[in-house]
Structures are given as C-alpha cells and as structure tokens.
A = this chain, B = another copy of it.
Amino acid sequence: MKIVIDGMGGDNAPKSNVEGVVNAIKEYNVDLIITGDKDTLEKEFSNYEFDRSKLEIVHASEIIENEDKPVKAIRSKKDSSMVVALRLVKEGRADAVISAGNTGALLAGGLFVVGRIKGIDRPCLCPVIPNIKRGMTLIADGGANADCKPKNLVEFAAMSNIYAKKVLDIKSPKVALANVGTEEGKGNDLVKKAYDELKNIDLNFIGNVEARDVINAYTDIIVCDGFTGNILLKSAEGVAMSVMSLLKETFLSSTKGKMGALLLKDDLRKLKSFMDYSEYGGAPLLGVNGGVIKAHGSSDSKAIKNAINQGIKFTQGNVVEDIKEFIKNNEDQEEK
C-alpha cells in the first residue's frame, strides 16, 4: 500500500504537509509519496529525523492555486503537485491521494485524471459535520453535484454507507435524506423519488431528517444533492463561527466578562474545538477509481496526518472494490 500527498496544496504547504508526512510514517509505518518541488521538499524534510526508506519524493514543477479555475487548472498545469499525485493513483503507483489544495480542482482531477468507477454516474464529496454526541455526520453529497437525479442520491447513499462502515468503523450506519419534514411524502420531487428507491436498497435507511436535527446525531449519513449539502453545511458553519465571535465579543466587553471567560477558559476551548470543522478530518471523493481525500485548506500537520490515516483505512477497507460490488449487485437486481 502506498499513499501520495500533494506536497504543495493547502494554506500551510509545504511545511505542514511535510511534518504530517513525517509523523504519519512514524505513527503508521506506512509507505508515502509526496509531490512537489524536489529541492523545497528535500530542504523541509532535512529538519526531521525519520525512516527515509518509507518516503519517495516525486518532483512536480507547478502549483495549482486556490484562485485557479478548477477544470482549466487540471488541464493546463499537468506538472502540478496535484495532477502528478492524481496520476500516480490513476497509474496504480499509489492507492490514495491526499490534497489540501483547490477543492474544485481536486474534484475535477478525481473525475478526469483518476476517473469514475464504471456504473457510477456522479462521484460525491463527503465532508463531515460535527454532532452533539461528539461524533460526526457524513454529508453525501456535500457539494460536488449541484443538480441530481434520484439515481445519483441512491448511489451517494450506497457509497457513503460503505465508507462509513470501512473507514469510520460504524457497524450499521443510519442513512437519512435531508428534508423539510420527517414524514414520507414530504419534500421536493427529487427527494420523494429518492425516498422510494432508498426503501428498496440494502441499507439502514431511517427516512427523512430535518436540517435542524443533523447536529443532534439522528443519523450517521445525510443524503442530498450537492447544492442542498453545501447550504446545510455552510449555514451551520456560519452560525457556529458567528456564535464564537459573539461569545468572544461578549467576554471582552467588560471586566466581569473577562473574569468569567478566564474561569471558563478550558471549557470554552472544548466548545471551540467542537465547532471547528477542520478538526474532523478530510472529505473523501467517492465513486472514483481510487482514494481521493480532500483535506481542509487550512490543514495543520495533525490534519494532514489524520487525512493520511483516512487514506490508509480507505485502502485497507477496499472501499473501491465494495462500491464496484454494490454496482454489480444493483445491476443484477434491476435485471431481475
């Protein structure tokens, strides 16, 4: 097994990426590849002591920036650290790729460089949203596909179910549709049709969940089109961030506030970490022919190391093979 890391992707690259790689080698004893400017990377690695036989540096002369147009960047920057990393997965030289770079470019690269699994219409990106049980809920799709058909939602459900079992170690993940009410028959056309299809799939489908209850951990997986997934996630994120800054403002506005905040320092730190979405690992792109994990743009070395661990579990769990198996069974079902 080999995992490749886009060495130049992310706000803190290459420093955090390099440190994450070093710590992953130490902790997981895994073989890693990193892509990017060889001299720069060599210099960074020279700061650490670790088993160099576990690491391969593959030179890449270009960098895809956050401002780059995704599809254009993938097509024109063929020697970028991201495209070179994706190509290693395509060629079977690596099993999974981790990137903290341009999200749109990674989605496009997953599709155009690594390629779709045959039978999957639309790969989906699955970010997580923290819930009050200190766990996380997968959003499938969290933003890769703005317009979806019922068939796509069924595939998102099946793929994220496999991922939740194999990578998140949830035995029988609860799968629900994001909806405006809990009763069957609620919602828009897309959701109503997907509901009917999901009832007939071998899943722990629990029906509809309202957006308000996602954070209450009513479900492990929430299935929706990528437009809805983005709205759900970003709305929650916006409120969480605003409340944190309101709290801060409140605490700093008076002496009493400052004293109170001092007493509560440790508790508030816990609250902050609960609301910090970047602590909850990377988002997998499911439905492509290999592991593609999007780490948060502001990933520190710990986040990179965690994403590498996700890549390891993704590979060991045979997620791609299981998705292919689902397609086969599903097609057999339809033929009957």
Interface of A with B (CB < 8 Å)?
A: 132, 143, 146-147, 178, 180, 187-189, 191, 210-216, 225-228, 230-243, 245-247, 250-251, 253-254, 256-257, 259-264, 267-268, 270-271, 274-275
Contacts and interface: CB of A to CB of B under 8 A. Distances in A.
Q: How many copies does the complex hold?
A: 2
A238 B263 contact: no
11 contacts: A132-B245, A143-B180, A191-B227, A211-B232, A216-B238, A236-B238, A243-B275, A246-B271, A257-B263, A260-B260, A260-B264
Nearest to A247: B271
A287 to B, nearest CB: 19
Contact of A230 (B143, B180, B189, B216): B180
A297 B227 CA distance: 29
Contacts of A236: 235-236, 238-239
B214 A235 contact: yes
Nearest to A145: B188
Given A250-B264, A267-B250, A212 B238 contact: yes
A210 B228 CA distance: 12
Given A132-B246, A146-B187, A264-B250, A232 B235 contact: yes
A211 to B, nearest CB: 4
A253 B264 CA distance: 11
Contacts of A143: 180
B256 A238 contact: no
A231 B239 contact: no
Contacts of A228: 227-228, 231
